[in-house]
Amino acid sequence: MQHLCGGVIMDVVNVEQAKIAEQAGAVAVMALERVPSQIRSAGGVARMTDPALVEGVMQAVSIPVMAKARIGHIAEARILEAMNIGCVDESEVLTPADEEFHVYKYDFRVPFVCGCRDLGEALRRLGEGAAMLRTKGEAGTGNIVEAVRHIRRVNSQIRVVQSKPNDELMTYAKEIGAPFALLQEVKRLGRLPVVNFAAGGVATPADAALMMHLGVDGVFVGSGIFTSSNPEKFAKAIVQAVEHYEDAPTLVALSKNLGPAMAGLEIGSLPPQQRMQERGW
């Protein structure tokens, strides 16, 4: 998934949005029936997207198309693999099918992306075969605070790993619930061994640039694009903000006259059972 580095992946719910994303410079799209803010407000059970919608998006754009399967839902993942999807997101945004076990991804040819809130969770997903990671954030809120918390926690724990002598790594692996061999690889590399994107709450070009400053490899944007007042302009601005995140004057220009961003939610006001990031483990 290295080819996605430095790019933006956008949630889309129809062919028209997919074309906007591609024209804006997105490196891939995530085909959904509803963006996360709509999933959150609708409640109920959120399932895999209708394959017909996914196929329509795949036929409409030349960039890779991803789609979400419920955590632990082997059959949904098999359906998406049979469609030759670019990547399956085993996603907490959908209602989990299994509250204890994730999909064993080594049984599939298609690559998987999974969410993480800390280093232990990241390495458990890699141990199951994930090819890409992302912060869980709090999707559909327009509030970046949880995505920031997650990437800072992962980075902090990586620094702890780098500081530990080899004879202390096994105990630390046990403490954080991480596979020992992968923890050794993190120490050797000084980073996660796969691409890690930001996701959950990215709503403005400044949000996207912030996440790049914190060390992610790219950005997922969902509700922040297509619930804004000017999706075409917002989409282009966020792609450019990821590319030029160290160029403050460019960020100034990109942030001007975009119109209102999506309405945001205060995370503290959400009951624990409504926090998508708490789905899975």
Structure-token pair, residue 118: 């800390």
Given 19, 68, 236, 256, which residue is catalytic?
68
Distance, in Å, from the CA atom of 168 to the CA atom of 193, rounded to the nearest integer, reads 20
Shortest CA distance to 73 belongs to which of 37, 113, 104, 42? 104
Q: For 69, which DSSP code?
A: E
Number of H helices, E strands in the chain: 12, 8
Dihedral pair phi/psi, residue 118, rounded to 5°: -160, 175
Structure-token pair, residue 210: 């912030």
Distance, in Å, from the CA atom of 228 to the CA atom of 209, rounded to the nearest integer, reads 18
Active-site residue flag, 236: no
Supply the residues annotated as catalytic. 68
